[in-house]
Chains A and B, each alone.
Chain A
Amino acid sequence: MYELLIIGGGPGGVAAGIYAARKRIPAAIVAESFGGQSIVSADVQNWVGTKSVSGFELAKMLEEHLRAQEGIVIVDEDTVSAVVDKGDHFVATTAKGQTIEARRLLIASGSRRRKLGVPGEKELDGRGVAYCSTCDAPIFKGKTVAVVGGGNAGLEAVLDLLPYAEKIYLLEYGESPKGDAVTLAKIKADPKVEIITMAATNAILGGKTVTGLRYEDRRTKEKKELSLGGVFVEIGAIPNADFVKGLVELNSLGEIIVDHKTQRASHPRIWAVGDVSDVLYKQNNISAGDAVKAILNIAEEMAKGSL
């Protein structure tokens, strides 16, 4: 039985692990991998204390820092799939079938990519439907492509594609792309890019590979088609909170509602940090800081002798 089980290996989970070890809290951490969602970023320039680092290197730094701690049990390449509350402790079951018992949970399981859920998306995944522009942009050299989603991730996908693609459509569901003004200005200045707003993507078309996309113009209700060689989907994230549904309160987005002073969820022995929580800003530095806050609160609670 552990005093604390940390779930997740992103900046939140790793920061929690480091602080838990330093506070000598008997803890285990379950992580499928380390580094979180930034691992695919080509260049992270806002990790405080580091001018520029690739997501891959950042992941290594985080993992090494965690592994340098004494007294924390690391269960890697596994995820927690279910949690049962036994009244004074939890029993967590992992995807590989391990069971881990702990008095408290710190959930730092992050979020996963939201998919469009339209016909053709699944069938053409990897065959022109792409989710990692950093990885795959060069493969679309000379092609016409669409990026669905006008948030920061969508705008960055356009930037990744600019050196390679012949033409890039940016499809935004709302009235205007919501990403950073600086990036948007850069994109707008490039004649290769055409921004289509109020566009609801209905289907991705293709046979062996992607040949196009169908969308509805939300202003006129007109159905339109684009002829394409690829579609990059960047429409946000879904919090990984499925395994604690019913144990804690979630908001309408499926995020764990926490007290932002302590990171404690609606359950007295569950804390949540980072993208899985209802934190307003999803940032590596914030996830790490919130995890520190949670561990200090847990340590304080333990010192008081409360559960």
Chain B
Amino acid sequence: MDTANVKKASVKMYTTPTCVYCKMTKEFFTKNKVEYSEVNVAEDDAAREEMIQKSGQLGVPVIDVNGEIFIGFDKKGLSEALGIAG
């Protein structure tokens, strides 16, 4: 696994506290030592609007990896974007 790539990426997650796919994504990041920031769109109105503007999505999780948008727990897409070996 190319951990250098993993650390360089800027990863921002838009989540809700009750969303299981958000939890799965976070566990996946933790397991693969991906650093990420997280915003709770259930509480943060501005972040919710930002998420909808960025992704057109009214669903979580939305994950922004260096400007590339991922929707749902897209393990394959995230692995590719972050250089995580499957």
- One digit per residue, 1 when the CB lies within 8 angstroms of any chain B CB and 0 when it does not, for chain A 170-207 equals 00000000000000000000000000000000000000
Chain A hits for B41, CB < 8 A:
138-139
Interface membership of B18, Cβ < 8 A: yes
Q: Kindly state the interface size class of chain A when it binds its partner.
A: 20 to 34
Q: CB within 8 A of B20: which of A56, A128, A140, A164?
A: A56
Asked whether A135 lies within 8 Å of B16 as measured between CB atoms, the reply is yes
How many angstroms from the CA of A114 to the CA of B37 in the assembled complex?
35
Is A42 located at the chain interface by the 8 A CB criterion? yes
Q: Choose among B20, B56, B58 the residue that contacts A139 (Cβ–Cβ < 8 A).
A: B58
Asked if B56 and A208 make an inter-chain contact with CB atoms under 8 angstroms apart, the answer reads: yes
Q: Which of A42, A134, A135, A210 has the most CB of B within 10 A?
A: A135
Contacts of A56 in B (CB 8 A): 20, 23-24
The residues of B that contact A132 with a CB separation of less than 8 Å are 19, 21, 59
Within the assembled complex, what's the spacing in Å between the Cα atoms of A128 and B24? 22
Complex CA gap A169/B19 in Å reads 23
User: Contacts A39-B20, A132-B19 given: A138-B56 contact, CB under 8 Å?
Assistant: no
Report if A141-B58 is in contact (Cβ < 8 Å); known contacts: A126-B71, A135-B22.
no
Q: Complex: how many Å from CA A42 to CA B17? A: 10
A136 touches B20 (CB 8 A): no
User: Is B58 within 8 A of A209, CB to CB?
Assistant: yes
- In the assembled complex, which residues on chain A have CB atoms less than 8 Å from the CB atom of B48? 138-139, 141
B21 CB → nearest A CB, Å: 7
B56 touches A136 (CB 8 A): no
Shortest beta-carbon distance, A31 to chain B, in Å? 15
A164 neighbours in B (Cβ, 8 Å): 42
B59 touches A209 (CB 8 A): no
Q: What is the chain B residue whose CB lies nearest that of A125?
A: B59
Q: Is there an interface contact between B16 and A138, defined as CB atoms closer than 8 Å? A: yes
Q: Scan residues 128-159 of chain A and give those whose CB is less than 8 A from a CB of chain B.
A: 128, 130, 132, 134-141
What's the Cα separation between A135 and B41 when bound, in Å?
Answer: 11
Let me know if A230 is at the binding interface, CB within 8 A.
Answer: yes
CB of A55 closer than 8 Å to a CB of B: yes
A127 within 8 A of B: yes
A128 to chain B, nearest CB (A): 5
**Assuming A141-B45, A141-B48, is B57 touching A135 (CB within 8 A)?**
no
Interface centre among B21, B23, B59, B60 (most CB of A within 10 A): B59
B20 touches A135 (CB 8 A): yes
**A261–B85 alpha-carbon span in the complex (Å):** 47
A74 beta carbon closer than 8 Å to chain B: no
When the two chains form their complex, are residues A130 and B58 in contact, meaning their CB atoms are under 8 A apart?
yes
The 8 closest A-B pairs by CB, nearest first: A138-B42, A135-B19, A126-B59, A56-B20, A136-B59, A138-B16, A134-B18, A42-B18
Cβ contacts A to B, 13 pairs, < 8 Å: A55-B20, A56-B23, A126-B58, A126-B71, A127-B56, A128-B58, A132-B59, A136-B19, A136-B58, A139-B41, A141-B48, A164-B42, A208-B56
Which B residues form the contact surface with A (CB < 8 A)? 16, 18-24, 41-42, 45, 48, 52, 56-60, 71
**A-B contact sample (15 more), CB < 8 A, given A135-B19, A141-B48:** A39-B20, A40-B20, A56-B24, A127-B57, A130-B58, A135-B60, A136-B16, A136-B60, A137-B16, A138-B18, A138-B48, A139-B16, A139-B48, A209-B58, A210-B58
